[in-house]
Each structure stands twice: as structure tokens, then as C-alpha cells.
Structure 1
């Protein structure tokens, strides 16, 4: 999704935006629980001068060597989602950098995702601080492991976690992640959406705020 006034003579920062379990790349841009207003939310923020011109990439994040699509909610399928970090860093990011006019480096690269995509965003953000300076997670799924911290000088410019008060899928899992980062004195934004459920209204609220805070470091 390039900005409306995309110009090959100009370079743009990049946001990678990831879907959840059982879903595909369309979920975060057109096919949500209802109408996904991703284009309008990001486009309006840019048009108002509240967000930087940016390219937004919506990848398919199921990454298995043996099957094309998710077949169950179990450890093997979880591993395929966790394996997306390899597709992202070895194939997708080089492809985007080759085919689009993009700024590179952590100062110009952001990642966020919904549910399982939120889990992956936190995992990838902690594992590859050299690549991503802005990390978001919307109603992130269980299973994030690691130190819940970064080495000095490797912290993201922005860590932004969104949770919904009415999330009947991951319940208080995002709150636990928030507590872990707080305990480790990691600066971050805890964005709690009153009435937010595990779906579109939490995603819309996150994107509205997240894109306005990107690429300002």
C-alpha cells in the first residue's frame, strides 16, 4: 500500500502490518469483522499532516516448509507463524527494498500486528532491534518469550501495545506483556481501548494512534 502521492524519486519509511491466526493478508486492509478502514485511517492521517508518508506492507505470515496454510491451532502451526521472521528478513524486506523506493534502517522501519501478528511483532521486535525501531502489537496472542527488554541503545523508539477491555479471545494476555515491560523499565505506551473487542475496533484504534507516532525519532 503506497501513499496516494507515491513518487519513485522520493524515499519512504515502511510499516509491516500482520494478521492473526487463521487469517490472511486481506484481514488487515479489507476483510475484517466488518469493513476495515485501514486505507482511510492511514491515508487521512497522512493527508492531515499528522503522519509521515509511508509504505505499508500486509504480508501473509504463515510460514511453513511443508504446507501453504494453517491447519490447526497447535505447536506445529504456532512454529510456522514464528518462522515468519525468516521469510520477512531474508525474502520480503529485500524484495520491498528492491522494488519500491524505501528508506532503510531501524529509524525508518516499523512493525505491528493483530493477535498472532501481535505476538510475532513483539518477538521480531525483540529479536531484531537492528531492523525495527518502532514496534506495535494489537491484542497480542499468548506465547511471546524472551527477555521483555532490549540491550542499552537497542530499545525501540516506540513500543505501543493495544488491548481491548472486551477481548474474549486473549483476555488479559496483553496486560501481562505490559506488566513485563513495565517491570523491566522498558518505555512503552499501554493503549487500553474501552469496549475494544478482539477485532476491528481495537485494530482501528491502534492504527489511528500508531501511525501518528511513527518515524518521528
Structure 2
């Protein structure tokens, strides 16, 4: 096909009809090409359109909540978090329910990093506003807490998350949780997601391990699981993947009962540890079914070409993953 087309292009006597016939032939041949199953299963990185980084004419709002959390010295720490409410959220309309994404910052950052606070409009807020306004995703609530303070440990944050944060948020706002009881939080798990960047990704894996009863969707970005030690996703990928699979099996969940959408860049410092863990998870098909189609699988991994360990990349991974949450 390429040789024939090249001959036509190089033939100075070629007619427009010949060009059109060759173009039609090429289009027909391309249409018959089929992706391999492996290629079709991949979730490919898509950059955020520039228009999504501009202010939307339907902006959401940011609110802050304060609460107390137990620390390791038998005391209580004062903490805060921020809540993104989509455009049109009406506190008086209890009939409209919202899914909730809990999104964690990275190491050395805090709860102000992602959204800033009331009145601010950082990049991710603009992306969310535009995705909702353009119908890419259903309106949702996004919560940005911090693992600093309290027990001050990503491995222990899951306790504060389910004892303090989720009950606070989901009884104040219109969510699918009927109450703050553990039974009601379990019953509404399909409407709850947890994700995070870097150390927030480490926190996400711990949330999967400890709070699988309360969250159906997980978004670990640029960070492996440290349940078997720091960087164990790279140094102990088989053991780490098997540990994660066992968590789900022991809890009685089947693959369609939970979803893991992970991402990083190939130049990200987290890539060498995260990719071996992901590659091993792919082999455990009784727990992790790899596919970009959420009707076929429960797990995928996006790799950003040239992506580094930075929020300007992470915001784009979130943009790519958000449409697959709460399906």
C-alpha cells in the first residue's frame, strides 16, 4: 500500500482521480486494522485541553471544614480540610445526591495544596468546573484532607478517614450515605472514591487495604504500595501484588466490586517502583482484570510520556480517570 501510494505521489502525470483513489484505498485499509487485545486494554494518556484550564462560566465553590482527630499521645489535634462543591449544589435540595472523591496531597504538602481554599481557583478546580459544565462527568464533591497531624502517618490515616472525615463530610453534604453509621457507609461505598499523589498514592494503597468496605474506587497516582516496606512495589512487586489481591479475597470482594485506576509518568521518580507492582498485578487475573474498558476489567495503568513527579501531570491523570469513576 505504501509503495503504491508513493509511486502515485512521485508520478508527475498522476491525476486527481488517482490521488483520490489512493486516499480511499488507504482509508479503507486503515479501517480494517484491528488493535491487538493488549493494545486495546491500555488506557492511553490524554492531555488536558487548554480550554479546560480557563475559568468556567459555571464555577463550583470551595468550603473549609474543621474537626478534631486523635493523635498518638492520647490527645486531639485540630485539623481542617477543603470541600469542592459543584456548580448548582443546593444545600436545601436533599433529593439530589452526589458521589464523593477524597483526594490526598503529596509529601511535604498539605490540605491547601490542591484547591487552596474558599475563593481560590487553582488548576484542578478549573478542570473540574469545565468537565462538569461540558458534561464529561456528573457533578461530584471532592474533599482534600491531609495525613499530617492526628496520627501523622500514611499507614494510620485510614482510621481518621473513616472515623472522622467521611462521617463529617457525608452527613453535612447531600451524599448517598444515609447516616454516619458504619453500616450505612458500607452500603454507600459505590459512591465513594479515594485517590492521591505520591505519598497520597501510598495513602491510597493503605486505604484499599484497610477501608475496602467503604470505598469502591481507588486512584493511586505516582506512588507504589509501602505495606511491605518503603518502595516495596519495586523491590517486592510479587509479594506486594499478592498482598493486595489477598486483601480483596479475604474481604469477600470479586473484581467487579472494586476498581483501581493508577497513573504515573515514565520520567517520574515513582515509575521504577510503581510499574513492577502494576505489571505483577496484571498477572493476578482472579483479582485484577486489566482493561481500559470498565465493563471488562477493574484495573488500568496510564503512563504519561515524559511525565515527571509534578502536579501539572497529576491533574491531567485525574482528568483522564474521572470519567471512569462511579460507573
Q: Which residue of 2 aligns with 1:162?
A: 263
* Alignment check: 8 A CA contact 2:158 2:211 kept: no
* Alignment check: 8 A CA contact 2:158 2:210 kept: no
Q: Which residue of 2 aligns with 1:41?
A: 127
Q: Which residue of 2 aligns with 1:62?
A: 148
State how 1:72-87 maps to structure 2 within 5 Å. 80-87=153-160
Q: Which residue of 1 aligns with 2:281?
A: 181
TM-score for the superposition, normalised by structure 1: 0.84
Change (3 A) 1:40 1:49: same
* Alignment check: 8 A CA contact 2:97 2:176 kept: yes
Q: Which residue of 1 aligns with 2:19?
A: none
The structure 2 residue matched to 1:202, chosen from 313, 316, 321, is: 313
1:117-138: CA deviations, max 9, x gaps? 0011112113222111110011
1:179-201: CA deviations, max 9, x gaps? 23212220211100011100123
Quote how far apart the aligned CAs of 1:170 are: 2.4
* Alignment check: 8 A CA contact 1:107 1:215 kept: yes
Q: Which has the larger radius of gyration?
A: 2
1:48-76: CA deviations, max 9, x gaps? 111111100000112444xxxxxxxxxxx
Q: Is 1:113 equivalent to 2:196 in the alignment?
A: yes
Give the gaps of 5 or more residues in structure 2: 1-83, 178-187, 229-239, 290-298
Q: Distance in 2 between matches of 1:148 and 1:183?
A: 13
Give the gaps of 5 or more residues in structure 1: 66-76
Q: Which residue of 2 aligns with 1:73?
A: none
Query: Does the residue aligned with 2:161 lie in a helix, a strand or coil?
Result: helix
C-alpha RMSD of the superposition: 2.1
Quote how far apart the aligned CAs of 1:112 are: 0.4
What is the aligned residue count? 199
Q: Distance in 2 between matches of 1:176 and 1:27?
A: 29
* Alignment check: 8 A CA contact 2:105 2:146 kept: yes
Q: Highest relative contact order (Cα 8 Å, sep 6+), 1 or 2?
A: 1
